[in-house]
């Protein structure tokens, strides 16, 4: 039975753990040759080995999405390995415990947050698009957050970064449609990754927001399945769109 990504090369940032790792494993099962881009070598190489032992194809490339030279080298390495690029999942990102109201958050925290989340997405897309143009098109899936769609206190820098990703998605979708490149964005709510669970352990008062998750908190595979749809040809007429994986919190 053919996989939904047979013949495609997919580049996934932040692939050493959480949603990125889960998506890498899913993509490999669906026939993609997967590039796991991350800073954590040992964890990433372990995932690569497990993908290959299960019959998939994957490589690890070291990549810090906030550093232009690192991004350029990572995509060049992927291009040398397989000579094409069909899918980019801009998954790397995260919020800082030092984030807060803009009147109190340090300038350093603000710029670090934007550099990781928004600038990282911009940089990786900038490197990926020429490879996709050479390959005849492709699909870019960005990762935002419900915080880019709703007001959430004490996360002003993160909200700005994720809102910027949503706006950038629309702009890129219009800009590169003529190249056959689609650009969409997934919008997760809280997902039961190790990082998120640790955050709620530090901030237990925020757990009351769980009541707004009509279907319960999402798991990494829930987001990965949405990304798979947007990466595959099943969504070939979908671009510039937002796909929430939020258990209904945005409507509750």
pLDDT at res. 151: 82
Average pLDDT, the chain: 94
Q: Give me the catalytic one of 75, 110, 158, 176.
A: 158
Q: Spell out the residues 6+ positions from residue 95 whose beta carbon is closer than 8 angstroms to its own.
A: 113, 147, 155, 157, 158, 199
* 158 annotated active-site: yes
Per-residue DSSP letter, 83: S
Q: CA-based angle 15:20:25, to the nearest 5?
A: 90
Pairing of strands 181-188, 138-143: parallel
CB 25 within 8 A of CB 13: no
**Mean pLDDT value of segment 187-200:** 78
Q: How confident is the model at residue 169 (pLDDT cuts 50, 70, 90)?
A: very high
Question: Is the per-residue pLDDT at 205 higher than 70?
Answer: no
pLDDT at res. 217: 85
Tell me the two tokens of residue 150. Answer: 């709703």
Global pTM reads 0.94
Per-residue DSSP letter, 8: -
The edge-to-edge listing of strands for the beta sheet with 242-245 is 57-62, 33-38, 9-13, 87-90, 138-143, 181-188, 242-245
Is the backbone of residue 145 left (phi > 0), alpha (psi -120 to 50) or beta?
beta
pLDDT at res. 193: 75
**Mean pLDDT value of segment 171-199:** 89
Per-residue DSSP letter, 37: E
Name all domains of the chain by residue range, CATH numbers in brackets: 9-245 (3.40.50.720)
Question: Is the per-residue pLDDT at 237 higher than 90?
Answer: yes
243 vs 201, higher pLDDT: 243
Tell me the two tokens of residue 22. Answer: 């889960």
In order of 7, 99, 112, 145, the CA distances from 117 in angstroms are 29, 13, 9, 11
């Amino acid at each position: 039975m053919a996989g939904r990504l047979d013949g495609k090369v997919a580049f996934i940032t932040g692939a050493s753990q959480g949603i990125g790792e889960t998506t890498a494993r899913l993509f490999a099962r669906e026939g993609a040759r997967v590039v796991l881009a991350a800073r954590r070598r040992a964890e990433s190489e372990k995932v690569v080995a497990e993908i290959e032992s299960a019959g998939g194809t994957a490589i690890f490339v070291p990549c810090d999405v906030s550093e232009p030279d690192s991004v350029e080298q990572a995509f060049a390495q992927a291009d040398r390995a397989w000579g094409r690029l069909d899918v980019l999942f801009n998954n790397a990102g995260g919020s800082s415990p030092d984030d807060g109201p803009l009147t109190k958050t340090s300038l350093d925290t603000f710029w670090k947050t934007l550099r990781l989340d928004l600038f990282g997405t911009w940089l990786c897309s900038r490197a990926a698009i020429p490879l996709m143009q050479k390959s005849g098109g492709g699909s870019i899936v960005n990762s935002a957050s419900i915080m880019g769609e709703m007001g959430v206190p004490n996360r002003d820098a993160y909200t700005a970064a994720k809102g910027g990703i949503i706006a950038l998605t629309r702009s890129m979708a219009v800009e590169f449609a003529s190249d056959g490149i689609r650009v969409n964005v997934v919008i997760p709510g809280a997902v039961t990754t190790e990082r998120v669970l640790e955050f709620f352990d530090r901030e237990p008062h925020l757990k009351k927001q769980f009541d707004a998750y009509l279907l319960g908190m999402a798991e990494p595979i829930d987001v990965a399945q949405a990304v798979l749809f947007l990466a595959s040809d099943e969504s070939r007429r979908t671009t510039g769109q937002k796909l929430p994986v939020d258990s209904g919190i945005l409507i509750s």
